[in-house]
Structure 1
Amino acid sequence: MSKLGNIGAKLHRGEISYDFVGHRKIWFGVSIALVAISLIGLFARGLALGIEFKGGVEYQANVKVTDNTVSDFTAAVKATNAQDLGDPVVATIGTDKVRVQTRPLSQDDIAKVRTAIAQEAGVQPDQVSNSQIGASWGEQIANKALWALGVFLFLVFLVIWAYFREPKASMAALIALVHDVLITIGVYALIGFDVTPATVIGVLTILGYSLYDTVVVFDKVRENTRGITGSNRFTYSDAANLAVNQTVVRSINTTLIALMPVGSILVVGTAVLGTGPLKDLSLALFVGIAVGAYSSVFIAPALLAVFKEREPGMQALRRRVLARRGATLTTASGTPIPAAAGAAAGAGAGGGATVVAESARPQDRPKSTRAGATGTTPAATSRPKSSASSGRPQPSRKPRSKRGK
Structure 2
Amino acid sequence: MAARKHTPDAVTTERTAAGTEAAPKHGFFVRLYTGTGAFEVIGRRKLWYAVSGVIVAVAIASILIRGFTFGIDFEGGTKVSMPVAGANGNAEVTQVETVFSDTLGKAPESVVTVGSGDSATVQIRSETLSNEEAAELRTALFDRFQPLGENGQPSEQAISDSAVSETWGGQITDKALIALGVFLVLAALYIGVRYELWMAIAAMATLFFDLIVTAGVYSLVGFEVSPATVIGLLTILGFSLYDTVIVFDKVEENTHGFEHTTRRTFAEQANLAVNQTFMRSINTSLISVLPIIALMVIAVWLLGVGTLMDLALVQLVGVIVGTYSSIFFATPLLVTLRERTQLVRDHNRRVLNRRKPGGRSAATTAAVEADTDDGDDEPQTVSASSTPAVATGSVGTTPAPGAKPSRPTTTGRPGRPTGKRTPRGR
Measured against the shorter chain, the TM-score band is 0.7 to 0.9
Deviation at 1:380, TM superposition (A): 9.4
Could you say if the C-alpha distance between residues 383 and 271 of structure 1 is closer, same or farther in structure 2, counting changes exceeding 3 Å?
A: farther
Q: 1:103, 1:151 → 2: CA distance?
A: 32
Tell me the SS of whatever aligns to 1:80.
Answer: helix
The structure 2 residue matched to 1:153, chosen from 169, 184, 193, is 184
Runs of 4+ in structure 1 off by over 6 angstroms are: 2-5, 363-366, 376-387
Query: Which residue identity is paired with 2:356?
Result: G
- TM-score of the superposed pair, with normalisation by structure 1: 0.78
Contact 2:41–2:328 at 8 Å: present in 1 too? yes
The structure 1 residue matched to 2:388, chosen from 362, 374, 397, is 362
Moved more, 270-279 or 250-259: 270-279
Could you say if the C-alpha distance between residues 318 and 82 of structure 1 is closer, same or farther in structure 2, counting changes exceeding 3 Å?
A: same
Query: 2:14: which partner in 1?
Result: none
Deviation at 1:385, TM superposition (A): 7.3
Q: 2:360, 2:305 → 1: CA distance?
A: 64
Tell me the SS of whatever aligns to 1:104.
Answer: coil
Give the number of the structure whose residues are more often helix, by fraction.
Answer: 1
Could you say if the C-alpha distance between residues 67 and 176 of structure 1 is closer, same or farther in structure 2, counting changes exceeding 3 Å?
A: farther
Query: 2:175: which partner in 1?
Result: 144
Q: 1:152, 1:327 → 2: CA distance?
A: 52
Could you say if the C-alpha distance between residues 232 and 381 of structure 1 is closer, same or farther in structure 2, counting changes exceeding 3 Å?
A: closer
Could you say if the C-alpha distance between residues 45 and 296 of structure 1 is closer, same or farther in structure 2, counting changes exceeding 3 Å?
A: same
The structure 2 residue matched to 1:242, chosen from 256, 261, 272, is 272
1:293 partnered with 2:314: no
Query: 2:374: which partner in 1?
Result: none
1:115 partnered with 2:146: no
Structure 1: runs of 5 or more not aligned: 329-337, 341-358, 396-405
The structure 1 residue matched to 2:122, chosen from 85, 91, 98, is 98
Deviation at 1:130, TM superposition (A): 2.0
Query: 2:375: which partner in 1?
Result: none
Give the 5 Å matches for 1:6-405: 6-8=30-32, 10-11=34-35, 14=36, 16-64=37-85, 69-82=92-105, 86-96=108-118, 97-122=121-146, 123=154, 125-164=156-195, 166-273=196-303, 276-326=306-356, 361-362=387-388, 369-373=398-402
Q: 2:64, 2:163 → 1: CA distance?
A: 29
Q: 1:144, 1:312 → 2: CA distance?
A: 43
What percentage of residue pairs aligned between the two structures are identical? 38
What is the CA deviation profile of residues 347-388 of structure 1, one whole-angstrom value per residue up to 9, with x for unaligned ones? xxxxxxxxxxxx97227899x943355xx788999998789x
Contact 1:91–1:274 at 8 Å: present in 2 too? no
Tell me the SS of whatever aligns to 2:103.
Answer: coil
State how many pairs are aligned.
359
- TM-score of the superposed pair, with normalisation by structure 2: 0.74
Let me know the Cα RMSD of the aligned residues. 3.6
Deviation at 1:305, TM superposition (A): 0.3
Query: Which residue identity is paired with 1:290?
Result: I
Structure 2: runs of 5 or more not aligned: 1-9, 11-26, 147-153, 362-384
Could you say if the C-alpha distance between residues 184 and 273 of structure 1 is closer, same or farther in structure 2, counting changes exceeding 3 Å?
A: farther
Moved more, 261-270 or 102-111: 261-270
Tell me the SS of whatever aligns to 1:79.
Answer: helix
Tell me the SS of whatever aligns to 1:252.
Answer: helix
Q: 1:37, 1:67 → 2: CA distance?
A: 40
Contact 2:69–2:222 at 8 Å: present in 1 too? yes
